[in-house]
A and B are shown apart, each in its own frame.
Chain A
Amino acid sequence: MTERRFAEVSRESVRLMAEGAGVELGDDVAALLAEDVCYRLREATQSSSQFMRHAKRRKLTVEDFNRALRWSNVEAICGYGAQDALPFRSVKEGELFFVEDRDVNLVELALATNIPKGCAETMVRVNVSYLDGKGNLEPQGTVPTAVQSLSDDLLKYYQQITRAILGEDPHLMKVALLDLQSNSKIAALLPYFVYVISGVKSVSHDLEQLNRLMHMVKSLVQNPYLYLGSYVRSLVSSVMYCILEPLAASINPLNDHWTLRDYAALLLSHIFWTHGDLVSGLYHQILLSLQKVLSDPVRPLCSHYGAVVGLHALGWKAVERVLFPHLPAYWANLQAVLDDYSVSNAQVKADGHKVYGAILVAVERLLKMKALSLSQSAEGQSGAHPGSVVGAVSYRVNSPGLSPPPEPLSEAALGIASHLQVGGAGCHWEEWTPVPLPAMYCELYSFFGDSLAVRFSTGTGFGTHSPCTPSQLSDSRKEPPGPASNLDTTRKMPQLTANLNISPRQDGSPRTDPPPPSLSGPGSRSRSSSSCSRQRSAGLSREVFPKARFTSPQTTPPAFSFLIGGRQMGQRCQGRRPFQTMFATTPPVSAIPPRTYAHKLPVIGRVGKPVRRWTCSHYSLHLPL
């Protein structure tokens, strides 16, 4: 062949091979043979390639070639089946090329100590490959996390936000939280944020991080574009964790985990007021778990504190149903802690006082709200004094034209039933019957004695929503020292804490139906007017806010009278009744818009700016000694 299209076997090679076999060949014979050998080789190679193709390989093996030979009735060539390439060597002198084929020393091989290991078992392993939103292949070998299926921009946003919130820079955090609160395009990221927030359990040692996560919850809850849906449950459980769990951070008394609990409780109420309708039965589940914590004496006091503030946050009805019935039993334990003056108990005692204070705030509000609601339900019978028992409270509030929405009792019953199915734990509210206010007051007074009374007397009036000036506030927070507390001097001073309870409605239950329309709607009007009516009874503050333009629809001046029977705090219910306080009916205030209060309310403690969505806020600053 003239052109070198193929590898060729030269006639010299043929002649050499023939010589090797002991045959002398002429030139022409050698040439013919060479050509034939070339052709046969090509043919065999071509047919061997199909064995390679069917074995789904790219590399032609000796085995393939042998198969082709075998199928064309040619003897296979043995000895070349090794996996590794065979070295091809040349000998200069003879112009010879040959395959290196060393002798194998069988003895050495047999006695060799490094016995080759058997190759591993053939096995099948699975890995997953998937495309991102744009059809690009994601890197393999990684478990697909949900985050990776997001678009690039969202992913970047997510990373930036989480980094900012959980990072060091407080300013950045603020910006991030603000954006989280108002960004309308992050619905897709919600599950991932919820997931991040559910990481509270892993950072229970780090108060700062917990706080940041709670802030994240707040921002998410406040974002009007987000539909939380069933993620509420997850958020609530994260928040509950912060409220109730004996966090690792609380081992060190220097850590202010109280504030975190307060804040989380605030957040809880916040979630319920705005999104409580999203998950049915959640309210009652929460109540149940709070009750469980409260009735579990093994739990540390900080958990109990959390339960109390949690209940308080859920509204006075929750306090009435859960805390109040539990109080007698719980009081014994608390009393024991508070009465122990040993040095080793100092820390626990301090915690006990925190709980004490929290309970006091809760029941105070309970009394106020209960009285208010009773008076409202008893409207039209104004002047009648249903509780005429000695030492009882008499009240009379007239608020014509206003009636709060009826309490959703039926739903509550359903909720109880559902939670019974789930938990099955015995609880008291099955046989719970509302305790009449006077009896309630009686009982509470037996626990708190004058501290209860003082709080009422120093306030601006019963039923107000603390439109207190700072001075008044500080007044009211001065708890009269009870016999149990004032003697203790070693007690650590607890920090100032803020409790914010925001209730857009007066019925004291979180929202269980769709959210009320915006402020301008009729609902808000009724609310503002109702708070207005409450405001009117708070006569003392009318000069403080004189510029109201709101005209009340009400014509008759509200009448309010309140009688407090005081009793020195003593041994349970056996205390004396040393004084009675009579509240005179305050002259009506005709035009005080509640909004002004909302605006003027001081920002207290670590609570961020007041939430604008609610017209009426109740701040109570509580400073136990």
Chain B
Amino acid sequence: MAAVQGGMGDADIKTDIKTEPSADGFGNNNANDGRVLSASPGSSSSTGSNKQTAPVTPEDQQTLLAVLQFLKKNKLTESVEILRREAGLPENSLDPKANESAGAGSGGAAGIVDLEGGDASSLLSRVTGSSSAGAQAPTKVAEDQPDVSVVLSAYSQQGDPTLYKVYYRDLKKFIETVLDCHRAELSQVFYPLFVHMYLELVYNNHESEAKAFFEKFSGDQECYYEEDLRILSGLTKKEHMRGNETLLDFRTSKFVLRISRDSYQLLKRHLQERQNNQIWNIIQEHLYIDIFDGMPRSKSQIDAMSGSLAGEAKREANKTKVYYGLLKEPEIELPLDDEDEEAENEEGKPKKKKPKKDSVGSKSKKQDPNAPSQNRIPLPELKDSDKLDKIMYMKEATKRIRLGPDNLPSVCFYTFLNAYQGLTAVDLTDDSSLIAGGFADSTVRVWSVTPKKLRKVKSAADLNLIDKESDDVLERIMDEKTASESKIMYGHSGPVYGISFSPDRNYLLSSSEDGTVRLWSLLTFTCLVAYKGHNYPVWDTQFSPYGYYFVSGGHDRVARLWATDHYQPLRIFSGHLADITCTRFHPNSNYVATGSSDRTIRLWDVLSGNCVRIFTGHKGPIHSLAFSPNGKFLASGATDGRVLLWDIGHGLMVGELKGHTDTIYSLRFSRDGEILASGSMDNTVRLWDAMKAFDDLETDDFTAATGHIHLQDNSQELLLGTYTTKSTPVIHLHFTRRNLLLAAGAFNP
């Protein structure tokens, strides 16, 4: 019986895989995306009308069908119509499929398809809920029940509960006796097998057997799974399985293992000889074994890459080409008035300046072969003020200090005193003139860290009186009476977890526990927009380096890409198995990186909405990300106190920096990328030699092709310095344009 079912499951997986590419080729999704993005920035077109469907990311066709079915079941006929029209599905497409999936609901393995659909629909229903507020409550209730039962139905098969221990012990004994080179690889199956066997026991109401099983074998698991095991150990009743998020994560995704062909054959032969169908079934159903040809990996290689909630990333997940190069900087002519000003200040200087400027210009003229095309995603046009800022930036850049192991930066620490409200997020403007703090009491506060005070724009009545033709109109619109060192902005109804300045310093974004992202004007110090969509706590948000776009991610496990003039997201990046804890834009604005509690980092293509990289290796939730200034590398910091370095182009882990003893909340590369600074909960800022870390790489073709990396343990060599604060967790780091390191945190007596 079990064998038959296993076969069914196998077949179903195959179909599942087959449908994936066809779904990618589904023209309507891309067309849809293209239309939204091509709506040129600044002109808010009528995209708002297609509330529900515009944000649909490329899901496979079956997901779409599942969504349709779900909507239909809940009698949202209007939505069904709209969605079908948008997706370009024929009217009758729903019926046969619906029958099929309805029929499959009872059959064990087929549930997987449905479950994916169900998962997606649950995510989507959250989106839907926001736009049609009335529908939220019913959907939520309706969604949970059938969904989970479908998920859990995968466990309906049942072996003899008393034999589970025997099966597992047999396998353990076998793996312990195989050749050393295979043992490490085969040991990978212990953890997922253990979890699934335990869950099966619990699901089938064998509580005492489950407990005994857990006690006997939980000690064998790798220490980095401890957190998950603790959650699992609390789960002893079938009723509790319902609504347990961790469990849901485990069930909805296949645990990915990478095993060499030899090792896999060994395992397969053993299980077939022993007629150990129980275990074989689990492997077939719940594990994805990514078989590769070549030498088996060593224990350290495996440990480096494992630790995520769903195992390692599939190799093909990281095969897509990523255009990690930087965009060509627009050539900016030095405006005449600027030169005059220069001439006033220091005679003879402008002559010197000019050739310099040219050389800077020529550097950026060279097109990076790895860069995306300039208009791959539409970027906002530069305003005059942006150009001035760029010029300021270039001027500052010429005065930049070249950092290195012998030339470490000093740290300027911005301490938030009397922050009894609880400082939860900090950001600094690129020119280091403003600092903003998000607080647990829902306030957002902005300080000026230069002598220039913060001023509001005059009231509308007063603005009418201003001579609009005057040259200093920008100065005249400011109200001197409102000048102060700091401003407080009220609007959120929960702790502000993420905060980000726009590159032009006119706006500020804040994301909060209340499920909204708010856009604030730094001219009036009022809220302009509240972007609703997440509906669950939004853990992080960040502006694109070119402005206009921003990304947010939160508890609902999706990251959303927004444009400031659209109140609906342009893209929804879904795929993480747990909360998205941090979001970062790639310097070229074409990609978004997200770190998650599922201990993976994903890189998303803004254009297509696809996930193009999955990085695994962290053993705890990821709380900080940083792209290197050249766009080639990514650094990530997690609760495990480690910083991992990733090569985006090759999709490889390239370094591990150990030293911190607590969560790393902040990472930042120096302006030229020579130094990586990390700030942690352990009250230290550490500096790492990024140049050395990246230079020592041996990215030969073999490593790149197999993804098997050899990490040297050279953290101590790479650690250049440690700065300790008195009792202030470091929650933000920033390099000024001249490469002075700024850090921020709240004094925690």
Interface residues of A (CB under 8 A from B): 1-3, 5-6, 35-36, 38-39, 42-43, 46-47, 50-51, 53-58, 63, 67, 71, 119-131, 135, 137, 140, 144
Contacts and interface: CB of A to CB of B under 8 A. Distances in A.
A119 B720 contact: no
Interface stretch (B160-168, B321-329, B386-394, B410-418): B410-418
Contacts of A131: 408, 410, 721, 723
Contact of A71 (B231, B439, B449, B536): B536
B250 to A, nearest CB: 15
B681 A122 contact: no
Interface string B423-442: 11000000000010101100
Nearest to A55: B424
B421 interface: yes
B237 A127 contact: no
Interface of B: 211, 215, 231, 233-237, 239-240, 244-245, 408, 410-424, 435, 437, 439-440, 445, 447, 449, 486, 494-495, 497, 513, 536-537, 539, 555, 579, 581, 597, 621, 623, 639, 662-663, 665, 681, 685, 720-726, 729, 731, 744
A53 B495 contact: no
Nearest to A123: B417
Given A43-B244, A53-B663, A56-B731, A137 B234 contact: no
Contact of A54 (B235, B408, B497): B497
Given A124-B447, A131-B410, 14 more contacts: A3-B215, A5-B233, A35-B237, A38-B234, A39-B236, A53-B621, A55-B424, A55-B497, A56-B665, A67-B513, A121-B418, A122-B416, A122-B417, A126-B414
A135 B408 contact: yes
25 contacts: A5-B233, A35-B236, A36-B240, A38-B234, A39-B234, A39-B236, A47-B245, A53-B621, A53-B639, A55-B424, A63-B440, A67-B494, A121-B418, A122-B420, A123-B447, A124-B414, A124-B417, A124-B447, A126-B413, A126-B414, A127-B415, A129-B412, A129-B413, A130-B411, A135-B720
Contacts of A2: 211
A129 B663 contact: no
The 7 closest A-B CB pairs, nearest first, are: A130-B410, A129-B411, A120-B418, A129-B723, A42-B234, A131-B721, A135-B721
A605 to B, nearest CB: 50
A42 B237 CA distance: 14
Contacts of B731: 56
Tell me whether chain A's interface is mostly helix, strand or loop, or mixed: mixed
Nearest to B498: A54
A137 B581 contact: no
Contacts of A121: 418
Contacts of B723: 129-131, 137
A43 B230 CA distance: 11
Which among A1, A38, A53, A120 has the greatest number of chain B C-beta atoms within 10 A?
Answer: A53
Contact of A122 (B419, B662, B722, B726): B419
A194 B494 CA distance: 58
Nearest to B729: A56
B424 A126 contact: no
A42 B246 CA distance: 13
A413 to B, nearest CB: 24
Contacts of B235: 39
Contacts of B215: 3
B547 to A, nearest CB: 25
A130 B417 CA distance: 21
A122 B410 contact: no
Given A124-B447, A135-B721, A53 B623 contact: yes
B496 to A, nearest CB: 10
Contacts of B234: 6, 38-39, 42-43
A119 B233 contact: no
Nearest to B579: A50
A146 to B, nearest CB: 13
Contacts of A127: 412-413, 415
A128 B744 CA distance: 11
Which among A36, A43, A50, A129 has the greatest number of chain B C-beta atoms within 10 A?
Answer: A129
Contact of A140 (B233, B421, B681, B726): B726
Contacts of B685: 129
B417 A120 contact: yes
Contact of B537 (A35, A38, A54): A54
Contact of A125 (B408, B417, B639): B417
Contacts of A63: 440
B415 A122 contact: no
B495 A55 contact: yes
A83 to B, nearest CB: 8
Given A55-B440, A71-B536, A137-B723, A129 B420 contact: no
B421 A126 contact: no
Given A46-B231, A126-B449, A55 B422 contact: yes
Contacts of A122: 416-421, 437, 439, 445
A275 to B, nearest CB: 29
Contact of B416 (A43, A53, A123, A137): A123
B684 to A, nearest CB: 9
Contacts of B421: 122
Contacts of A129: 410-413, 685, 723, 725
Nearest to A83: B420
Contacts of B422: 55, 57
A88 to B, nearest CB: 24
A68 B435 CA distance: 30
B418 A123 contact: yes
Contacts of B639: 53
Given A46-B231, A53-B621, A120-B417, A126 B539 contact: no
Nearest to B623: A53
A50 B597 contact: yes
A121 B723 CA distance: 27
A381 to B, nearest CB: 49
A600 B312 CA distance: 91
Contacts of B729: 56
Contacts of A128: 410-413
Given A122-B416, A122-B445, A126-B414, A71 B408 contact: no
B623 to A, nearest CB: 7
Nearest to B581: A54
Nearest to A58: B681
A64 to B, nearest CB: 10
A56 B579 contact: no
Contacts of B495: 51, 54-55
A39 B240 contact: yes
A2 to B, nearest CB: 8
Nearest to A149: B410
A56 B513 contact: no
Which among A38, A54, A58 has the greatest number of chain B C-beta atoms within 10 A?
Answer: A54
A55 B623 CA distance: 11
Which among A6, A35, A56 has the greatest number of chain B C-beta atoms within 10 A?
Answer: A56
B537 A71 contact: yes
A140 B513 CA distance: 36
A58 B497 CA distance: 16
A46 B681 CA distance: 20
Contacts of B445: 122
Contact of A137 (B486, B555, B724): B724
Nearest to B207: A35
A137 B722 contact: yes
B523 to A, nearest CB: 21
Contacts of B420: 119, 122
A125 B440 contact: no
Which among B411, B419, B621 has the greatest number of chain A C-beta atoms within 10 A?
Answer: B411
A287 B723 CA distance: 51
Contacts of B536: 71
A39 B234 CA distance: 6
B233 A54 contact: no
A54 B447 CA distance: 22
A50 to B, nearest CB: 7
A194 B231 CA distance: 67
